[in-house]
Amino acid sequence: MSLFKKNHHKFIFFMLLALLSNNIAAKIYSKNELQLLAINYVKQHLPELSEGKRELSALSLDSRIPDKNCETQLLINSARSQRSNRQSTIQIKCLDEKKWHIYVQVKIIELSSIVVINKNIIKGEIISKEHLSMQSKQKHLIRNQYLDKNDIQYLIGSRSKRNIKNGSAITYNQVCMVCKGDKVTIFAKFKGLSVKTTGFALQDGILDQRISVKNAKSGKTLHVKVLGVDRVQVSI
């Protein structure tokens, strides 16, 4: 056999040996890598959010746990049926001859934006755009009466009914768009015609709330719906 053929056969032999070695070489997983695998698994199995955002993080693993070796593909799944939508237990398994498994707790935080006050407001103060900002808050801590960005347009020009501290979430029950004693514009529609007049509020009111006002010209009491700041509508 020629020297060229011998070297060629040796080359093929060592290439095959290298490929086999790569296939059976154990993959070493650090604790950080195992946590990331668990986070990615949860991320792939959660439904998309229609609004807001989601943050995932893994709880720390025991510092005494060493790096893990595995020659086969890891199996990853939920360890049990989840009782909470804010935390998931993920099991990672290696089915090598020396089997091992580990549990990773993944924390799930869903955030939504709410309207908050960014400077102190005193009772009776008119609310301006500069008073308001958006802040992310965990969904499970958000009450139904908290407001979102779509409410800002209705808050501007409203009057505070109490002192509100900087950083506090604002709600409609803390303000009046129409306040008792305020002069209001009364809108009415009749047979396709729109008319307006003035009056005085007999009650505090917020958006879509029904209150009583006094017509400035006739002196009659009208039951109206609040349209916005100092604006109401009467049904004829």
Q: How far is CA 163 from CA 29, 121, 126, 127, 159, in A?
A: 55, 6, 12, 12, 11
The least confident of 3-17, 25-39, 88-102 is 3-17
Token pair in block for residue 157: 């020009």
Pick the CATH number of 112-176 from 1.10.1420.10, 3.10.580.10, 3.40.50.300, 3.90.1210.10: 3.90.1210.10
Which residues of the chain form beta strands (DSSP E)? 27-29, 53-58, 68-70, 75-78, 87-94, 100-117, 132-138, 159-160, 175-176, 183-190, 193-201, 210-215, 221-228, 231-235
Beta bridge partners of 123: none
User: Which amino acid would we find at residue 153?
Assistant: Q
pLDDT band at 145 (very low <50, low <70, confident <90, very high): confident
Of the candidates 21, 111, 34, 122, the residue with the CA atom closest to the CA atom of residue 75 = 34
The letter for the amino acid at 12 is I
DSSP 166: T
Q: How many residues does the chain have?
A: 236
Confidence of residue 52 (pLDDT cuts 50, 70, 90): confident
In angstroms, the CA 7 to CA 3 distance is 6
pLDDT band at 190 (very low <50, low <70, confident <90, very high): confident
| pLDDT at res. 26 | 74
Structure tokens at 24: 């059976």
Q: Which CATH number fits domain 183-235: 3.40.720.10, 2.30.30.760, 3.40.50.1820, 3.30.450.40?
A: 2.30.30.760
Element (H, E) at 24: helix 3-24
Q: Is 106 exposed, middle or buried (0-12, 13-18, 19+ CB in 10 A)?
A: buried
Looking at residue 134, its amino acid is M
Average pLDDT over residues 186-204: 90
What are the extents of the domains in the chain?
25-110, 112-176, 183-235
Comparing 17-21, 50-54, 143-147, the range with the smallest average pLDDT is: 17-21
| pLDDT tens figures, 60-101 | 999 999 999 999 999 999 877 665 688 999 999 999 988 999
Q: What is the pLDDT of residue 17?
A: 44
Same fold, 112-176 and 183-235: no
Tell me: pLDDT of 132 over 50.
yes
Determine contact, residues 82/27, Cβ cutoff 8 Å.
Answer: no
